Amino acid sequence: MVSFWILTHARSGSTYLCDLLNSTKQLPHIGELLHPVRIRSKKSFIKRKPIVAKVLREHFEHIFTNKDKTIIKKTLPDLKFILLKRHEIEKVAVSCYISKQLNVWGILRLNIERGKEKIKNVTTEDYLNMPIKVDESELLKTYEICKNEYTAWNKFLKGEEHLEIDFNELIKNPEQVVKEVFLFLDIEEEPKIEFDNLEYIYPFPKHPQKEQLLSILNERIEG
**Residue-wise pLDDT tens digits, 166-177:** 999 999 999 999
Q: What is the pLDDT of residue 75?
A: 98
pLDDT digits (tens, 9 = 90+) for 76-91: 999 999 999 999 999 9
CATH of the domain at 69: 3.40.50.300
Q: 35 is in which domain, residue-wise?
A: 4-222
DSSP label at residue 9: -
Residue 114 reports pLDDT greater than 80: no
Specify the amino acid at residue 109: R
What length is written for the chain?
Answer: 223
How many separate domains does the chain show? 1
Alpha helices (runs of H) in the chain, residue ranges in sequence order: 14-24, 42-48, 57-63, 69-75, 89-102, 124-128, 136-156, 167-172, 174-184, 210-222
Q: What is the pLDDT of residue 51?
A: 97
Q: What is the pLDDT of residue 56?
A: 97
**Banded model confidence at residue 111, pLDDT cuts 50, 70, 90:** low
Buried b (16+ CB within 10 A) or exposed e, 37-49: eebeeeeebeeee
Nearest C-alpha neighbor of 157 from the set 62, 54, 73: 73
pLDDT digits (tens, 9 = 90+) for 115-145: 445 555 788 999 999 999 999 999 999 999 9
